[in-house]
Amino acid sequence: MARGKFITFEGIDGAGKTTHLEWFRQQLHTRAARAGGTVIMTREPGGTALGETLREILLHQPMALETEALLMFAARREHLAQVIEPALAQGDWVLSDRFTDATFAYQGGGRGLPRDKLETLERWVQGEFQPDLTVLFDLAPDTASARRSAAREPDRFERESERFFARTRAEYLRRAQEAPQRFALIDSSQDIALIRQQLEALLARL
């Protein structure tokens, strides 16, 4: 049985990843089935019972910046051990709504935690392990904020300023530049139909 593939969706709040996730999961399902596996859809922070408890705390409770980063990585270690690693080992494909790039973007870029601290945690929690593909939905913070405001009650991150999201976006783009073979950059200001075409092209490469 071939090892499964790990795909992550990323982007600042309001950039549109949620719009495309369910559609992409269905497409992915067809490809995974052809390879003899199934698709597991998951998210961060979260993805396990403990991770979902940590998500509640992270999204709603004030805390020191370092605590926030450590809890993100604690939830991630659990997610890897309980869900991601076993699924890939048995040939299933995993699609995750956010992963480590979000910690670099939000806690690093947005909140200003030094990158070397995050790199240390990344290595500790996941070694050399990285997604096979990361789809980054890129959008200007003012457009993203306009798209967000229609939605429900904002959490601790969604309440942040446009300047925070400008820094978050910049760090996402820096991560993408650092690993161009892993990232696919999607311009989220385009029509949904056009974005789907681009996602289809990515699926064909998997």
By beta-carbon proximity to ligand TYD, the closer residue of 37 and 94 is: 94
Distance in Å, CB of 34 to ligand TYD, minimum: 29
Distance in Å, CB of 77 to ligand TYD, minimum: 12
By beta-carbon proximity to ligand TYD, the closer residue of 24 and 157 is: 157
204, 28 Cβ separation under 8 angstroms: no
DSSP character for 92?
-
DSSP character for 153?
S
Give the up-direction half-sphere exposure of residue 110: CA atoms within 13 A in the CB hemisphere: 26
Distance in Å, CB of 91 to ligand TYD, minimum: 25
Coil, strand or helix at 13: coil
By beta-carbon proximity to ligand TYD, the closer residue of 98 and 167 is: 98
The binding site for ligand TYD (CB under 6 A) comprises: 13, 18, 44-45, 72, 97-98, 102-103, 106-107, 157-158
Distance in Å, CB of 81 to ligand TYD, minimum: 16
Torsion of CA 45, 89, 39, 7, to 10 degrees: 60
